[in-house]
Structures are given as structure tokens and as C-alpha cells.
Structure 1
Amino acid sequence: MTALGAIFRPQLPPERLRPVVEAAEAAGLEELWLWEDCFFEGGVTQLTAALSWTSRLRVGIGILPVSLRSVAMTAMETATIERMFPGRMILGLGHGAQDWMAQAGVRPASPITSLREHLTALRGLLAGETVTTDGRYVTLDQVALAWPPATAPQLYVGATRPRSLRLSGELADGTVLDAAHPPAAVRRARALIDEGRALAGRDDHHELVVFLNAATGPDAAQRLHRELVAWGLQDVPELGAHGDAAAVARGVQALVEAGADRVILQHTADEPDLEGFVRFTANEVRPLVP
């Protein structure tokens, strides 16, 4: 069955998170996703708080930029959260916006090499291994977690370009596609991911998470249009969904048919009722999505 979720965008103040999380839990929403955009809110802090306020909601990070923190710290934080809230964290990693990485003084000359080194080291650490590596961006000397998780969480990669998508297929358990991907782009991304999987000899299932711009209510069409204009995406065909639950469910289903396993609804910047949007996703759209 297709998983369905919603996003809490970091352009909202941190104090807005708790009521949205509690609404998601009460409504039976499957997944709530967070972003770690620079320089808004710490994704790990948000993730931990959201998990602590709930008992069954799965919470995803889409994504943590690997250059912002050392791989040892990422492993320590991930292991701690997974042990406290087993099976409810969805960990997304990626390059991050390179302009932001430059502002923070951590922009790598080769984002692909950096991501490869971070993913490889992180997987080893979370598996309880003692890791020694001397790479271009990751250097570890006999590092092992004192408290590795009983089961290492799956690693997802946020990717858009061909080399990153192939790398995700090669090394990650899943891929996160942002809301700039209509069905045709999802199909292309799935093909590139499969190329990476084939090169690595992988035959396990690779989860594909796709964000979908969505709006409901009497002014849904206008709000969605403003959102796409703000992202410079107004001329991309078949992008986003607006209207009642049936219309949004059709947008979800189009992405599923293109290869998505999980579709996460992304509210507009001017969404007037975020708790209502979460309830709409869980109570109205969910029953219409197979």
C-alpha cells in the first residue's frame, strides 16, 4: 500500500510544530516530514521533539545536509534517536543547497565524493562496526558507537541530478524527490536509480519518496499557482494537485503509477490551516489512495 504523509515546512516558527504533530497523531497520519533548510530550524531537534510528543507517528527528515555535521555526530544522533524511538525515524541525507553550504563554510569541492564517503561511513557506524577511513572529506580513526541501534535505520538520499540518483541507487535504501518532480520526472529518476542499483548488484527494493505540492479549499488553485511561481515551476506540466480529496488523490496516484512508494503532501507557504491540512491528508485523501 502506498504510504501517505504531509510536510511541516521550516519557514514556520518552531513553536508551531507541536500542535501540527499532535494533530497528525490524532488524525492517524502515517508520516510527517521535516526539512533542515539553512538557516531555519535544526532538523534533529525537530525530529526528536516530534517523536517524543507521539507514540506511533513516523517522522522523516528530508534532508540532513551531510556537510553541516561530522559523520560521527550524525551517527551518534541517529543511533540515540533510533534506540529511544525504534522504527519511527526516516533518515534522509543529501548534499544540501550548495549556496547554503558555502555560506556555512562547508561547501565541498566534490559533493558526490562527500556524499559517498559520508554514506559509507555512516552505514558502517550504525551497523556497530569500528570504522577507520582516510577520505577526502571523512576521516575516522577506530571509531565505533558505544550504543549502536539494535536495527540500523534505512538511509534515504535526497537527489535530483543523474549522478546523485545513481549514487542513491548504489548506496542508499531509498531516495527522496522534491516537489519539482511530475510523473515523467519520477519515471526518469527511477530509471537512473535502477542504473545505480544494477552497477552495485543490488536486488533489494529501493523506496522512492516523492513530495507533492497540494492545496485544498475554495482558493486552492490560486494558492497552488502562487506556490509554483515562487519556486519557478509554473511552466512544468502535471506538477502539483489542488481541489477536493478526490482531485488530490488523483495527483498522488499519478506519482504512484510513475514509481513512487510514498507520497508526501507539501502545503503551500500561505496554507491557512495547517492542522486542517494534516487532517485532510489523513482522513479524506488517505481512504482514496490504494
Structure 2
Amino acid sequence: MSENTDSSDDPTWGIELTPEHPPDRVADLAALAEDEGFDVAFASSHYFNRDPFVVLSRMAAATETIRLGPGVVNPYETHPVKLAAQTATIDEISDGRGVFGVGAGDRSSLSNLGIERDSPLRRVLETFDLARDLWDGRTVTHDGTFTARDASLNLDPPSEAIPVYIGAQGPHMLRMSAKHADGVLVNAAHPRDLEWAAGQLEQGLSDRPDDYGEFESLAFASVSVAGDEDAAREAARPPVAFIVGGAADPVLERHDIDREAATAVSEALERGDLPEAFGHVTPAMINAFCIAGTMETVADRFARALEYVDGIVVGSPLGPDLEDAVERASEALARATET
């Protein structure tokens, strides 16, 4: 079993657990991640999977020390006041281990629900500003990208301050998170993207008020690790397809991804033909958008990523065998962080 110490100089080890699996299975994976030295576990949020807060409640019951939170929810599907209450509930039942992972949400998924993702930067900022006030016990009235009137919470979360992590990829969201939040979940796996993101975060940090405390940048990276390189890369196809489908042109150009191949992936996803979309994923796409391979390969990629961030969240798919992947990812992180 690998172990991450609590020194503030040590990189943060995070893991994303996807509620495509039953809540008890995810809770068992959270307990395994805790045993393997992970610091924080995020339950991802997609309307077509199980509810992340229900799953987080099971994760809280199955663990003792690992921090827990959604990674990430958006303030379009659910009202921001409700998100604040749900996160406070997780903080309460976990005895102060809650974190709040929030972002603008996936535009294509929101469109499936008939939701327009308007003013994403302002809406995310207003959401966690409001949440902080509610967690402090204040009654709030807000009229901005959403409305709240005389809203308050009927519970007092045990954390003195629930940490807010912003899911970000574009330049404006990255800079905003560095200026206002406690941390950022950078939606990237490749050193080239993380280096670019670090430059954006540096701009935001230059405007950060001195009394806001420390800021933590985490690479929220798609990872697929297994004993067999080919098996790990094959398991990476589904998440990479969705990453490619939502990637902006500058990101594709940064990695010299063939535009025609990327379009084929996107069009298949829009038609709902997932096997075809996954089949269009190229080796270059996997190299650019997922840390995939054996433990040795993954450890090397983790070490390169840590040149630009304060920690790594091991994200979906983890690997072809989830329990095995949690253990291998932990060992890879230990190797990558050896001094």
C-alpha cells in the first residue's frame, strides 16, 4: 500500500469516482482510495448517472479521513442555493471533510436538457460567493445570473470554510478561479496544456487579494492504468472521445490533432453512436488527452504534470479494472512524488 503524508509540501492526491456504478461499489472504491493514500475523492456529476450527492453520502459512511465532494456540479441543472445545501450536508455527515467542486458544466449535456449555458463565468463566481455566505449562516438575497430571495440554510456545516474548487479549462475561468477560489481542477492531462494553464493561473493569482489564503491547482486528468499497455489505452477510448468532442480548436491545434478525425468523433457523439465515436479515437488523441499505460508510463507522466500543478486528480476511466487501477495509480503517484 502506498501512502501520501500530510506535509503541506506534498502534492495532493485526488481521485474521481464516477457514479456509473452502484453507490455501494463507489463507496468501496473510496475506501480503497483512502487506504491507498489519496487525500480527496470527487464524485462526478452527469444527469445520466446516479446522483453524486447520494453517492457521496455512501462514500462518507465508508471512509474516515479522505475529503469528499462533487467533481464537478454546475449551477444550471440545480439552483445554487440547493447546491450549497447539498454540499453542506456532505460536510456535516463526513465530520468536516466536504469540498465543493463546481464548474460551468458540459454544453452538450446541458443542451440535452434544453438548458442554455449563459454567462458561465459570472454564474460560477456568483454561485460559490453565495454558497460561502450561506455556509457562514447568512440570509442572502441575490439578483444576478440567478435569483435568490431571503434564502438561508437550516444547518451549520462543521467546516470553518468548505474549500471551493473550480473546474476550468478556458483562460477566463482559469484566471477567475485563481483570483477568487480555493483551488482549480484543470481539465487537462498533457504537460503542454498544463503549462499553458499555469500561465493563465499566474495572471489570476497576480490579482488575488492577500487575505484570500493559499490556492491549489490540481490537474483533473483522464487516467487509464493497467498491467498491460494496450489494455490501458483501449480503456481510454470512451473518455478521450468525449474530451475530443468538447475540445476547442486551439486545444486540438496545440496537439496537432487531425481536424477531420476530430470531426468524425464529434459527429458520431452527436448522433449518439458511441461505438463509432470510440472507434474514431486515434493514438494521437489518447496521447494528448489521457495518461494511459502501465504504472511505469503513468508515473512518468504524473511527474511531468507535477512540474506545473500542485497535485493530480486521477480521473475517469481509471483503468480496465477499477480496484487494480486505484492501487496502480497510487503506486504511480508515489513514484512520481519521490524526492
**In the alignment, is residue 62 of structure 1 matched against residue 60 of structure 2?**
no
After TM superposition, the structure 1 = structure 2 runs for residues 159-198 of structure 1, keeping only pairs within 5 Å, are 159-178=168-187, 180-198=188-206
Q: In the alignment, what sits opposite 1:3?
A: 12
* CA gap 1:134/1:211 in 2 versus in 1, 3 angstroms: closer
Q: Which amino acid aligns with 1:79?
A: A
* CA gap 1:217/1:227 in 2 versus in 1, 3 angstroms: closer
> Displacement of 1:15 after TM fit?
4.8
> Displacement of 1:207 after TM fit?
0.8
Confirm or deny: 8 A CA contact 1:215 1:221 kept in the other structure: no
Q: In the alignment, what sits opposite 1:261?
A: 310
> Displacement of 1:267 after TM fit?
4.7
> Displacement of 1:70 after TM fit?
1.3
Confirm or deny: 8 A CA contact 2:75 2:127 kept in the other structure: yes
Q: Which amino acid aligns with 2:313?
A: I
Sequence identity, in percent?
Answer: 25
**In the alignment, is residue 205 of structure 1 matched against residue 205 of structure 2?**
no
**In the alignment, is residue 136 of structure 1 matched against residue 145 of structure 2?**
yes
Confirm or deny: 8 A CA contact 1:213 1:224 kept in the other structure: no
> Displacement of 1:13 after TM fit?
4.3
**Superposed CA offset, 1:77-113 (max 9, x none):** 2222212213422221011012222332432432222
Q: In the alignment, what sits opposite 1:95?
A: 104
Confirm or deny: 8 A CA contact 1:267 1:277 kept in the other structure: no
Q: In the alignment, what sits opposite 2:271?
A: none
Confirm or deny: 8 A CA contact 2:32 2:326 kept in the other structure: yes
Unaligned runs of 5+ in 2: 1-9, 245-256, 258-282
Q: Which amino acid aligns with 2:311?
A: R
Q: Which amino acid aligns with 1:51?
A: A
Q: Which amino acid aligns with 2:119?
A: S
Q: Which moved more, 1:54-63 or 1:221-230?
A: 221-230
> Aligned partners of 1:217 and 1:18: how far apart in 2?
21
Question: Equivalent residue of 1:215, what SS?
Answer: strand
Confirm or deny: 8 A CA contact 1:29 1:278 kept in the other structure: no
Confirm or deny: 8 A CA contact 2:100 2:165 kept in the other structure: yes
> Aligned partners of 1:212 and 1:116: how far apart in 2?
23
Confirm or deny: 8 A CA contact 2:166 2:181 kept in the other structure: yes
> Aligned partners of 1:13 and 1:80: how far apart in 2?
21
**In the alignment, is residue 281 of structure 1 matched against residue 329 of structure 2?**
yes
Confirm or deny: 8 A CA contact 1:119 1:171 kept in the other structure: no
Confirm or deny: 8 A CA contact 1:240 1:251 kept in the other structure: no
Q: In the alignment, what sits opposite 1:72?
A: 81
Q: In the alignment, what sits opposite 1:116?
A: 125
Q: In the alignment, what sits opposite 1:235?
A: 284
Aligned length: 285
Question: Equivalent residue of 2:317, what SS?
Answer: coil
* CA gap 1:102/1:215 in 2 versus in 1, 3 angstroms: closer
> Displacement of 1:249 after TM fit?
1.9
* CA gap 1:280/1:222 in 2 versus in 1, 3 angstroms: closer
Confirm or deny: 8 A CA contact 1:241 1:251 kept in the other structure: yes
Question: Equivalent residue of 2:145, what SS?
Answer: coil
Question: Equivalent residue of 1:196, what SS?
Answer: helix
> Displacement of 1:37 after TM fit?
1.7
- Aligned mate of 1:31, from 40, 46, 49: 40
Question: Equivalent residue of 1:66, what SS?
Answer: coil
Q: Which has the higher contact order (CA 8 A, sep 6+)?
A: 1
> Aligned partners of 1:79 and 1:275: how far apart in 2?
29
Confirm or deny: 8 A CA contact 1:224 1:268 kept in the other structure: no
Confirm or deny: 8 A CA contact 2:19 2:55 kept in the other structure: no
> Aligned partners of 2:165 and 2:214: how far apart in 1?
13
TM-score (norm 2): 0.75
Structure 1 segments, 4+ long, off by >4 Å, are: 236-239
